[in-house]
Amino acid sequence: MSSRDAILASIRLNLPKSDRPLPTAPKFGDDAPADLVEAFGKALTRMGGRIVAGDTPASIRALLEYSRLVCSATLEISGGVDLATVVTPRALADVDHAVVRGSCGVAETGSILLTDQDLKVNALAYLAQHLIVLLDPADIVVNIHSAYARPEFRERRYAVFHSGPSATADIEGVLILGAQGVRSLSVLLVPRNPGEPDQAQGAHPV
Protein backbone atom coordinates (compact mmCIF):
# COMPACT_ATOMS: atom_id res chain seq x y z
CA MET A 1 0.00 0.00 0.00
CA SER A 2 1.34 3.42 -0.96
CA SER A 3 1.62 6.24 1.58
CA ARG A 4 -1.27 8.00 -0.19
CA ASP A 5 -3.52 4.95 0.12
CA ALA A 6 -2.51 4.53 3.76
CA ILE A 7 -3.43 8.14 4.55
CA LEU A 8 -6.79 7.91 2.78
CA ALA A 9 -7.57 4.58 4.49
CA SER A 10 -6.81 6.14 7.88
CA ILE A 11 -9.08 9.11 7.13
CA ARG A 12 -11.95 6.81 6.11
CA LEU A 13 -11.45 4.71 9.23
CA ASN A 14 -11.61 7.75 11.48
CA LEU A 15 -14.53 9.61 9.93
CA PRO A 16 -16.91 11.11 12.53
CA LYS A 17 -19.49 8.54 13.59
CA SER A 18 -22.03 10.96 15.09
CA ASP A 19 -25.42 11.12 13.43
CA ARG A 20 -26.19 14.82 13.61
CA PRO A 21 -28.64 16.40 11.17
CA LEU A 22 -27.36 19.19 8.97
CA PRO A 23 -28.73 22.66 9.73
CA THR A 24 -31.73 23.74 7.70
CA ALA A 25 -30.65 26.18 5.00
CA PRO A 26 -33.18 28.80 3.87
CA LYS A 27 -34.22 28.91 0.24
CA PHE A 28 -33.30 31.93 -1.85
CA GLY A 29 -35.44 31.49 -4.95
CA ASP A 30 -37.85 34.40 -4.69
CA ASP A 31 -36.21 36.24 -7.59
CA ALA A 32 -36.12 33.26 -9.95
CA PRO A 33 -36.02 34.19 -13.66
CA ALA A 34 -39.07 33.37 -15.74
CA ASP A 35 -37.01 31.14 -18.06
CA LEU A 36 -34.31 29.11 -16.30
CA VAL A 37 -32.92 27.72 -19.56
CA GLU A 38 -32.47 31.19 -21.05
CA ALA A 39 -30.91 32.53 -17.85
CA PHE A 40 -28.52 29.57 -17.68
CA GLY A 41 -27.46 30.05 -21.30
CA LYS A 42 -26.71 33.75 -20.79
CA ALA A 43 -24.71 33.10 -17.63
CA LEU A 44 -22.78 30.27 -19.28
CA THR A 45 -21.90 32.52 -22.22
CA ARG A 46 -20.65 35.24 -19.87
CA MET A 47 -18.30 32.67 -18.34
CA GLY A 48 -16.86 31.67 -21.71
CA GLY A 49 -18.96 28.56 -22.34
CA ARG A 50 -21.54 28.04 -25.05
CA ILE A 51 -24.85 26.34 -25.68
CA VAL A 52 -24.85 24.07 -28.75
CA ALA A 53 -28.23 23.71 -30.41
CA GLY A 54 -29.46 20.92 -32.62
CA ASP A 55 -29.83 17.15 -32.81
CA THR A 56 -27.51 15.36 -30.39
CA PRO A 57 -25.59 12.97 -32.71
CA ALA A 58 -25.21 15.55 -35.49
CA SER A 59 -24.16 18.31 -33.11
CA ILE A 60 -21.64 16.07 -31.38
CA ARG A 61 -20.20 14.92 -34.70
CA ALA A 62 -19.66 18.54 -35.70
CA LEU A 63 -17.82 19.24 -32.45
CA LEU A 64 -15.67 16.12 -32.79
CA GLU A 65 -14.90 16.46 -36.49
CA TYR A 66 -11.18 17.11 -35.95
CA SER A 67 -10.75 15.33 -32.63
CA ARG A 68 -7.89 12.85 -32.38
CA LEU A 69 -9.11 11.13 -29.20
CA VAL A 70 -12.60 11.18 -27.67
CA CYS A 71 -13.40 9.94 -24.19
CA SER A 72 -17.05 9.55 -23.22
CA ALA A 73 -18.36 9.02 -19.70
CA THR A 74 -21.95 8.58 -20.93
CA LEU A 75 -23.51 5.66 -22.78
CA GLU A 76 -25.29 8.12 -25.07
CA ILE A 77 -22.08 8.87 -26.97
CA SER A 78 -19.33 6.41 -27.86
CA GLY A 79 -15.66 7.25 -27.45
CA GLY A 80 -12.20 5.82 -28.01
CA VAL A 81 -11.26 5.36 -24.34
CA ASP A 82 -12.79 2.83 -21.95
CA LEU A 83 -12.82 4.62 -18.61
CA ALA A 84 -13.21 1.30 -16.80
CA THR A 85 -9.65 0.45 -17.84
CA VAL A 86 -8.08 3.72 -16.69
CA VAL A 87 -5.74 3.02 -13.77
CA THR A 88 -4.12 6.45 -13.34
CA PRO A 89 -5.45 9.89 -14.37
CA ARG A 90 -2.38 10.52 -16.52
CA ALA A 91 -3.80 8.00 -18.99
CA LEU A 92 -6.26 10.75 -20.01
CA ALA A 93 -3.58 13.33 -20.79
CA ASP A 94 -4.00 12.92 -24.57
CA VAL A 95 -7.81 13.24 -24.63
CA ASP A 96 -8.96 15.96 -27.01
CA HIS A 97 -12.70 15.87 -26.22
CA ALA A 98 -14.45 14.54 -23.13
CA VAL A 99 -18.21 13.95 -23.23
CA VAL A 100 -20.12 13.74 -19.93
CA ARG A 101 -23.67 14.19 -18.65
CA GLY A 102 -23.99 16.86 -15.97
CA SER A 103 -26.01 16.34 -12.81
CA CYS A 104 -27.51 19.83 -12.92
CA GLY A 105 -27.02 23.36 -14.21
CA VAL A 106 -27.26 26.60 -12.21
CA ALA A 107 -29.11 29.48 -13.88
CA GLU A 108 -27.61 32.08 -11.55
CA THR A 109 -23.97 31.35 -12.43
CA GLY A 110 -24.02 29.24 -15.59
CA SER A 111 -22.31 26.49 -13.61
CA ILE A 112 -22.61 22.74 -14.18
CA LEU A 113 -22.47 20.23 -11.36
CA LEU A 114 -20.32 17.17 -12.12
CA THR A 115 -19.86 14.25 -9.74
CA ASP A 116 -17.63 11.18 -9.61
CA GLN A 117 -20.52 9.20 -11.09
CA ASP A 118 -20.81 11.64 -14.00
CA LEU A 119 -17.08 11.68 -14.74
CA LYS A 120 -16.08 8.09 -13.85
CA VAL A 121 -12.51 9.43 -13.51
CA ASN A 122 -12.53 12.85 -11.83
CA ALA A 123 -9.48 14.13 -13.73
CA LEU A 124 -11.36 13.78 -17.02
CA ALA A 125 -12.93 17.21 -16.46
CA TYR A 126 -9.49 18.83 -16.26
CA LEU A 127 -7.11 16.88 -18.50
CA ALA A 128 -9.23 16.90 -21.65
CA GLN A 129 -8.64 19.76 -24.08
CA HIS A 130 -12.38 20.31 -24.59
CA LEU A 131 -15.36 19.38 -22.42
CA ILE A 132 -18.80 18.60 -23.87
CA VAL A 133 -21.66 18.32 -21.38
CA LEU A 134 -25.11 16.84 -22.00
CA LEU A 135 -27.59 18.55 -19.68
CA ASP A 136 -31.28 17.91 -19.17
CA PRO A 137 -33.12 21.29 -19.14
CA ALA A 138 -35.25 19.90 -16.29
CA ASP A 139 -32.07 19.69 -14.19
CA ILE A 140 -31.42 23.44 -14.31
CA VAL A 141 -31.98 25.02 -10.88
CA VAL A 142 -32.30 28.66 -9.84
CA ASN A 143 -29.13 29.24 -7.85
CA ILE A 144 -26.24 27.69 -5.94
CA HIS A 145 -28.42 27.30 -2.83
CA SER A 146 -30.82 25.12 -4.83
CA ALA A 147 -27.93 23.11 -6.24
CA TYR A 148 -26.53 22.40 -2.77
CA ALA A 149 -29.93 21.04 -1.73
CA ARG A 150 -29.69 18.31 -4.37
CA PRO A 151 -28.96 14.72 -3.23
CA GLU A 152 -25.61 14.55 -5.05
CA PHE A 153 -23.92 16.37 -2.19
CA ARG A 154 -25.03 13.65 0.22
CA GLU A 155 -24.79 10.58 -2.00
CA ARG A 156 -21.64 11.17 -4.08
CA ARG A 157 -18.03 11.11 -2.97
CA TYR A 158 -16.97 13.94 -5.26
CA ALA A 159 -18.76 16.98 -6.66
CA VAL A 160 -17.50 20.06 -8.50
CA PHE A 161 -19.02 23.06 -10.24
CA HIS A 162 -17.66 23.99 -13.67
CA SER A 163 -18.37 27.55 -14.81
CA GLY A 164 -17.03 27.81 -18.32
CA PRO A 165 -13.49 26.92 -19.44
CA SER A 166 -10.45 27.76 -17.34
CA ALA A 167 -9.47 31.44 -17.71
CA THR A 168 -6.86 33.93 -16.59
CA ALA A 169 -5.98 37.54 -17.35
CA ASP A 170 -2.56 39.21 -17.29
CA ILE A 171 -1.77 42.65 -15.90
CA GLU A 172 -2.99 44.32 -19.09
CA GLY A 173 -6.38 42.68 -18.74
CA VAL A 174 -6.07 40.28 -21.67
CA LEU A 175 -8.37 37.31 -21.04
CA ILE A 176 -6.93 33.90 -21.89
CA LEU A 177 -9.30 30.91 -21.96
CA GLY A 178 -8.07 27.42 -21.25
CA ALA A 179 -5.04 28.49 -19.24
CA GLN A 180 -5.03 25.66 -16.68
CA GLY A 181 -7.92 23.39 -17.61
CA VAL A 182 -10.21 22.68 -20.54
CA ARG A 183 -9.95 25.12 -23.44
CA SER A 184 -13.67 25.07 -24.20
CA LEU A 185 -16.94 24.07 -22.55
CA SER A 186 -19.90 23.21 -24.77
CA VAL A 187 -23.33 22.32 -23.39
CA LEU A 188 -26.06 20.46 -25.26
CA LEU A 189 -29.53 20.61 -23.72
CA VAL A 190 -30.58 16.98 -24.07
CA PRO A 191 -33.28 15.40 -21.87
CA ARG A 192 -32.40 12.17 -20.11
CA ASN A 193 -33.92 9.01 -21.49
CA PRO A 194 -36.98 7.89 -19.44
CA GLY A 195 -36.07 5.42 -16.71
CA GLU A 196 -32.36 6.19 -16.94
CA PRO A 197 -31.57 8.86 -14.34
CA ASP A 198 -27.79 8.68 -14.71
CA GLN A 199 -27.03 7.01 -18.03
CA ALA A 200 -29.15 6.66 -21.13
CA GLN A 201 -29.43 3.40 -23.01
CA GLY A 202 -27.64 2.99 -26.28
CA ALA A 203 -24.71 4.86 -27.77
CA HIS A 204 -24.64 7.00 -30.88
CA PRO A 205 -21.48 6.38 -32.90
CA VAL A 206 -19.69 9.65 -33.63
Q: Which domains does the chain have, with CATH numbers?
A: 46-189 (3.40.50.10420)
Round the CA-based radius of gyration of the chain to a whole number and report it.
Answer: 18
**CA–CA separation, 92 vs 71, rounded Å?**
8
Between the CA of residue 95 and those of 69, 167, 186, what are the distances in Å?
5, 20, 16
Question: Mean pLDDT across the chain, nearest whole number?
Answer: 86
Q: Please check the confidence at residue 168 and state whether its pLDDT lies above 80.
A: no
Closest to 106 (Cα-Cα) out of 52, 49, 24? 49
Burial class (CB in 10 A: 0-12, 13-18, 19+), 99: buried
CA angle at residue 40 from 197 to 175, to 5 degrees? 120
pLDDT confidence of residue 204: 43
DSSP H helices in 76-165: 116-119, 124-127, 144-148, 152-155
Q: What is the pLDDT of residues 40-92, one digit of tens each?
A: 999 999 988 999 987 778 888 888 988 999 999 998 888 888 898 898 889 99
Question: Does 200 score more than 70 pLDDT?
Answer: no
Confidence of residue 178 (pLDDT cuts 50, 70, 90): low
Query: Which has more confidence, 76 or 107?
Result: 107
Report residue 31's pLDDT band, with 50, 70 and 90 as the boundaries: confident
CA atoms within 13 A on the CB side of 104: 22
Lowest mean pLDDT among 20-24, 40-44, 47-51, 182-186: 20-24
One-character DSSP codes across 95-118: -SEEEEE-SEEETTTTEEEEEHHH
What's the pTM value of the predicted model, to 2 decimals? 0.81
Q: Which helix (H) or strand (E) holds 189?
A: strand 184-189
Checking if the pLDDT of 205 tops 60, the result is no
Residue 112 and residue 76 in contact, taking contact as beta carbons nearer than 8 Å: no
pLDDT band at 134 (very low <50, low <70, confident <90, very high): very high
The model's pLDDT over 136-154, given as tens digits with 9 standing for 90+, comes to: 999 999 999 899 889 998 8
